[in-house]
Structure 1
């Protein structure tokens, strides 16, 4: 049995959880703890909204790899399914820019849409939920610091802008948009008394089918 195959066996449980974390096969998550009441802003509309991402088809394997399966990374017959990227966003949550590549959209009511923009790879766990209602929207960001505290964190939206390609959607429509959010990340925890507040940015575009 090859070392590469053994690596695949050992990683399989983790990768299965990662697949669920990407929003495939599980309900949308909620932010941890009690979060502040967030601001509401008016949605902008631009029927000519454009971006190269809207015309592209980007995919990755479900553990985040873009490598060619023919290169021998995966055991014969064990090539995992690919995930289509539905967002091309950037987050600065860990002090450096990184990708946020997935977006899901659900029609909750005639005039209410929920967006869930997220990235769950082994290093970054960013999540942004956006609620759109009657031409207004609100957003809630949260993330997971694997080496830091799990309690006492709050994320407050300080600035937000959302542009959509049209005002009305039906289930099955492709919803395209551009988003730009600034969040204040704060911690109140006795073990981290000196941790200063920090600002996080998340911005980019998304294109996904409305469920």
Structure 2
């Protein structure tokens, strides 16, 4: 089993510029089977409703509580759990604000969509909230002059909104583009980091920070 590591290659407070830059890198590895997924965390009922209006095909899922005895719905049949906890599209969102108590932030997501189908609308809708666009199933080419074979399994590009890390640990006032490669460690050194540098350079970018693993 292998894992990826993602290196930041660009950062800007301009979401449109961040998207354009991420797309330039993504296009370098885009292939027939490439797809895109989006994710955001929405902190209020008003923002859930705003995003639902802008992106009605997305899925919204509220948090499940956890106490000393375990998860809130542990052992409860799936079809008896609240729809918001299971996940609903915009048309199924509760009208009563009380239904969101203890469920915020609500997660928004759409997975495995055609490249180009969601990115602009999502970038316009996310506003100040943390989230990401992730392009996967790319195909990085060989770099014989750098001594590296290509990469498909871990060939991805991520655009982080309003955070600089993949776990959304800290909010930020800017947006970060990441290039993913396979994580290969030898004697404590990421031996494929130079490949990430090479990939970034092919589209006029450069690594600007340490690699991130999750």
Higher strand residue share: 1
Higher RCO (CA < 8 A, seq sep 6+): 2
- TM-score, normalised via structure 2 length: 0.25
